[in-house]
Chain A
Amino acid sequence: EIVLTQSPGTLSLSPGERATLSCRASQSVSSSYLAWYQQKPGQAPRLLIYGASSRATGIPDRFSGSGSGTDFTLTISRLEPEDFAVYYCQQYGSSPPFGQGTRLEIK
């Protein structure tokens, strides 16, 4: 079983600032198998990043993913008002697949 731990639990920032979200795995995860999702209140999750660093279709380039092994990062270079949401990382191949989420809130 691979457990994904996301930090921080809540991140308070202002529009225009840079956001750095962390996802740490309890065992090494192939970069191909690591994805990030954004979820806004009342909406379904949306795929942002797959393969640790590839942006999904239609995702703005202010979103970027990086990392390997057990440490992965989602970076939002300059926060827009619509970016305040909950973000989940996900790994493939072991249950449970999702991290517990990071809430990005307006400061």
Chain B
Amino acid sequence: EVQLVESGGGLVQPGGSLRLSCAASGFTFSSYWMSWVRQAPGKGLEWVANIKQDGSEKYYVDSVKGRFTISRDNAKNSLYLQMNSLRAEDTAVYYCAREDYWNYDYWGQGTLVTVSS
């Protein structure tokens, strides 16, 4: 059974940092692109970043470029999102999702990040 379990969310002050993790199991993690997708309270889905199977390609939404870094450790079946210089508008539930060709076929349960003083 495919499972994605996020962790690392919490309350952080504006300008602070947080590192999210996503533990994957039930599939060959190193064979898939992976993404982070976020959802602000009461809002829709926003793709944040994705990473190629071997980590050689990474892409970001404009609003997080230069502040967030996506990475992965295939030996640990884990996906990460390092978030620096956090802003109030980064407050959201962050989901990790597996990319299957052109869609997101499995999602984690999400981890809440709250940026507030």
Which residues of A are interface residues toward B (Cβ below 8 A)?
A: 32-33, 35, 37, 39, 43-47, 50-51, 56, 88, 90, 92-93, 95-101
Q: Which residues of A contact B100 (CB under 8 A)?
A: 50
Q: Which residues of A contact B101 (CB under 8 A)?
A: 32, 50, 92
Q: Does B32 contact A (CB under 8 A)?
A: no
Q: Which residues of B contact A47 (CB under 8 A)?
A: 103-106
Q: Taking CB as reference atom, which chain B residue is nearest A36?
A: B103
Q: Taking CB as reference atom, which chain A residue is nearest B104?
A: A47
Chain B contact residue count (CB 8 A cutoff): 18
Q: Which residues of B contact A95 (CB under 8 A)?
A: 47, 61-62
* Binary flags per residue of B104-117, CB closer than 8 Å to A gives 1, else 0: 11111110000000
- CB atoms of A98 and B45 under 8 A apart: yes
Q: Which residues of B contact A45 (CB under 8 A)?
A: 45, 95, 104, 107
B102 interface neighbour in A46, A50, A88, Cβ under 8 Å: A50
User: Given contacts A96-B46, A100-B44, is CB(A44)–CB(B103) below 8 Å?
Assistant: no
Which residues of B are interface residues toward A (Cβ below 8 A)?
A: 44-47, 61-62, 95, 100-110
- CB atoms of B44 and A101 under 8 A apart: yes
Q: Which residues of A contact B102 (CB under 8 A)?
A: 32-33, 35, 50-51, 92-93
- CB atoms of A90 and B44 under 8 A apart: no
CA distance A88 to B43 in the complex (A): 12
- CB atoms of A98 and B105 under 8 A apart: no
Q: Taking CB as reference atom, which chain A residue is nearest B99?
A: A92
- CB atoms of A98 and B110 under 8 A apart: no
Known interface pairs A44-B107, A47-B104; 7 further A-B residue pairs with C-beta atoms within 8 A, sorted by A's residue number: A44-B109, A45-B45, A45-B107, A50-B101, A50-B105, A98-B47, A101-B45
Shortest Cβ distance from residue B62 to the other chain A in the assembled complex, whole angstroms: 8
| Most B Cβ at <10 Å: residue of A37, A39, A45, A46 | A45
Q: Taking CB as reference atom, which chain A residue is nearest B105?
A: A47
Q: Taking CB as reference atom, which chain A residue is nearest B110?
A: A44
- CB atoms of A92 and B46 under 8 A apart: no
- CB atoms of B44 and A56 under 8 A apart: no
